[in-house]
Amino acid sequence: MPIEDHSLANEFPEFKDDIHQLKMDDAHFKKLYDEYNHLTKEVAKMEQEIIPSTTVEEENLKKQRLQLKDTIQGYIKASKLAAEKA
């Protein structure tokens, strides 16, 4: 059963506008964003037992999502820093 909302807007409310702008303007970010959402949906299906899975499989997807979230956060911060320097 899902415990909370893992959308990027919920995870990083302070970057909500930046996330939207990067989705629109940056193809690489859009790919990361889409992959994160896909992983989140797959984890939710496993938690809701829509997709049969082992605890190990579910935990591995959660770890992938966490690593991707860290990558996305770094990407957003680097993008903001570059924009401030420009």
Domain ranges for the chain: 18-85
32-78 tens-digit pLDDT: 999 999 999 999 999 999 999 999 999 999 999 999 999 999 999 99
**Using CA of residue 60, residue 65, residue 71, residue 73, what is the dihedral sign?**
negative
The pair of three-digit structure tokens given for residue 59, joined into one six-digit string? 């935990």
> pTM for this one?
0.89
